[in-house]
């Protein structure tokens, strides 16, 4: 039974996952699309916004427009923030742990250390490369680019879903946009968390002091993280976490914000408790629930991988509170 509950808040701003919905108002009449989006999303440079427009990742009422398109109140502007993946991705026979697969989508248990998308510094050896090798018939908008609508950090393990068809991608994007997807995680936080359960409601954006990091910042994108304490130890707390939004590094940033960063997190974390050997951040995507394109609800779960379980076993062999 939960003994205590709290709500931890800061200023919120905008909408949903990697896909943002913007609603132009009267004062935006006639404003250029690129200028409007850049002003609405100050974390994005004008050049980045123009690149997203050219890549077809910014739509007005579902239609691609040019940067100089003039905005009208009442239109709906959607911005897909996921970085563009090259049109053709090289197939690489990387082993995959497949939890579920049909003609429209595939659910995978991603191991720690696997990057999701090709990017500078990681042009190959990614989950996208592995998906192309496993399912060469993937067809998203006429390309072999898999429809990965959410991401996990390189060193976060667990469940991730990708679309194999336009039908699958449309369904997944709609569910992510309307926040109908249930996303559960297990994290080991440093220190002792007093609350038995809590909600962290604090906007996330680029850290103004270090653009390579994210931080809780005024005017950032809304981010909501809920957690329940599963188990307490002398210098750590095991948490079951559900995220309502899916911002970059959200759980890691939020736990660091309340003073209890994820153990093993080299970016946002602190010193690992003595006696513990943690090779990476203790964060695992343990549950994923959504609807298949036909409407059937599905739910998947993933147990802790061996490296994280070993950390818990070591803690339990010590002196839990």
Burial 238-253 (b: 16+ CB within 10 A, else e): bbbbebbbbbbbbbbb
Q: How far apart are CA 188 and CA 14, in angstroms?
A: 29
Tell me the helix, strand and coil percentages in the chain, rounded to 5. Answer: 20, 30, 50
Dihedral sign of CA atoms 112, 114, 115, 121 in order = positive
Residue of 144, 229, 134 lying closest to 191 (CA atoms)? 229
**Widest CA span of the chain, in angstroms?**
65
153 is catalytic: yes
Q: Which of 153, 155, 201, 265 is catalytic?
A: 153
Q: How far apart are CA 253 and CA 247, in angstroms?
A: 9
Instruction: Report the catalytic residues.
Output: 153
């Amino acid at each position: 039974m939960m003994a205590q509950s709290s709500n931890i808040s800061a200023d919120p701003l905008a909408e949903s996952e990697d896909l943002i919905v913007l609603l132009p108002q009267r004062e935006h009449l006639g404003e250029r699309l690129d200028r409007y989006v850049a002003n609405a999303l100050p974390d994005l440079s004008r050049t980045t916004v123009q690149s997203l427009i050219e890549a077809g990742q910014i739509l007005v009422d579902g239609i691609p427009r040019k940067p100089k398109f003039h905005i009208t109140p009442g239109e709906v502007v959607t911005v897909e923030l996921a970085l563009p993946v090259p049109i053709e991705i090289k197939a690489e026979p990387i082993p995959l742990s497949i939890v579920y697969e049909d003609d429209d989508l595939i659910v995978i248990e991603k191991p720690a250390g696997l990057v999701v998308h090709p990017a500078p510094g990681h042009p190959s050896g990614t989950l996208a490369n592995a998906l192309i090798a496993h399912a060469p018939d993937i067809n998203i908008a006429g390309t072999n680019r898999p429809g990965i609508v959410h991401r996990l950090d390189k060193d976060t393990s667990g469940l991730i879903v990708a679309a194999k068809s336009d039908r699958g991608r449309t369904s997944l994007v709609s569910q992510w946009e309307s926040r109908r997807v249930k996303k559960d995680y297990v994290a080991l936080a440093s220190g002792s968390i007093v609350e038995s359960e809590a909600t962290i409601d604090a906007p996330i954006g680029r850290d103004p002091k270090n653009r390579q990091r994210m931080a809780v910042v005024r005017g950032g994108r809304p981010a909501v993280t809920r957690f329940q304490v599963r188990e307490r130890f002398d210098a750590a707390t095991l948490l079951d976490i559900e995220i309502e939004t899916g911002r970059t590094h959200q759980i890691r940033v939020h736990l660091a914000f309340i003073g209890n960063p994820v153990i093993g997190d080299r970016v946002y974390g602190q010193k690992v408790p003595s006696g513990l050997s943690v090779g990476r951040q203790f964060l695992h995507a343990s549950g994923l629930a959504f609807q298949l394109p036909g409407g059937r609800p599905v739910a998947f779960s993933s147990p802790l991988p061996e490296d994280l379980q070993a950390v818990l076993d070591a803690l339990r062999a010590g002196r839990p509170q």
